Amino acid sequence: MRSEDFTMELLCCEETILNEIEHKEFKRKDVALTYYLCMMSSEKIDWEKVNKEIIRRWSFSGLEYIKKEAYKNYKPKRNINIYNRTINQL
């Protein structure tokens, strides 16, 4: 079986990332990975709420760092350029 034959997805994305933001043992790099997994998820996520919590903990520059790290690995599910549209919404 090839990796292209199946997909994996993080469940309870919003709950997971908010939990990581709340607990001090999770660093920005950890949250960036979860942010990326949330972006790839089909679940509906309240990005405004998530981003506000990130800013509350780390500041606006922390949010920018997390988004930048998350986008390093981001590959859209369709072969289109959605970077500008998506980053403004997240």
| Inside any domain, residue 37 | yes
| Inside any domain, residue 69 | yes
Confidence (pLDDT) at 66: 96
| Inside any domain, residue 4 | no
Q: Rounded distance, CA 57 to CA 85, Å? A: 25
Q: Name residues whose C-beta falls within 8 Å of residue 86's C-beta, 6 or more positions apart in sequence.
A: 39
Confidence (pLDDT) at 9: 81
Confidence (pLDDT) at 31: 97
| Inside any domain, residue 2 | no
Residue 34: give the domain boundaries. 15-89
Confidence (pLDDT) at 10: 87
The total domain count for the chain is 1
Low-confidence spans in the chain with pLDDT less than 50: 78-90
Hey, what are 72's tokens? 């390093």
